[in-house]
Structure 1
Amino acid sequence: MKHFEEWVMQFYGQRNWTQYGVFERMGFLMEETGELAQAVRTYEIGRDRPDEAVKAEPVLKEELMGELGDILANLAILADKYGFTLEDAAKAHQEKLLKRFEAGPTN
């Protein structure tokens, strides 16, 4: 992840895409999340629209991966703005859940 995050900051930075504040970045993240939702829907159940060509499964999977990448890039930029990495966030998430559920299921 570190290599990806460094690449994102360099690539996006060269294009002045990292200049936006956190509220604008959240807007971009929401936009990309919507595009991911559409890619998942298209992959799983299709689009059923006469104005869109049917795409082969490998193309649909590539589009889905691309949208996930867009989301990861936006998350990397957000994390950087707050002074941590995606790896830091992943570790914090693990620790939070392990602490929360260390007593076992609460069904």
Structure 2
Amino acid sequence: MNILSYQHWVTDFYKKRSWYELDTFIRINFLTEEVGEVSRAVRALEIGRDRPDEDELSRQKKLENLKEELGDVLDNLFILADKYGISMTQIVENHKEKLVKRYNDN
């Protein structure tokens, strides 16, 4: 699935669940929460959690958790972009152009 197709799919999915209607300030809070969960997942992979009240997960389970949390972050970014009429394809293309110009690298 390409980026634009996914953006349309996730937007429709969020609209069906009435999540899309939430204010962008609320969406930013969800994004912040999910970024924190990515941080926690990376910590678990890199240095562990050292919590006696939690079972130690295998590296594969930790990676699966990180993928899930990164997906949650992406979904919030897709929805924010959509609410402002920006396609993620535009974002990726513009960002690549900025980096190439800044660092004169192809």
Identity of aligned residues (%): 47
Which residue of 71, 84, 87 maps to 2:86? 84
RMSD over aligned Cα atoms: 1.2
- Deviating 4+ runs (over 6 angstroms): none
In structure 1, C-alpha distance between the alignment counterparts of 2:47 and 2:98, rounded to whole Å: 35
> TM-score, length-normalised on structure 2?
0.90
| Runs of 5+ unmatched residues, structure 2 | none
Secondary structure class of the residue paired with 1:55: coil
Partner of 1:11: 13
Residues matched between the structures, number: 103
Secondary structure class of the residue paired with 1:47: coil
In structure 1, C-alpha distance between the alignment counterparts of 2:95 and 2:88, rounded to whole Å: 10
> How far has the Cα of 1:100 moved from its partner?
2.1
In structure 2, C-alpha distance between the alignment counterparts of 1:60 and 1:6, rounded to whole Å: 29
> TM-score, length-normalised on structure 1?
0.90
> How far has the Cα of 1:3 moved from its partner?
2.4
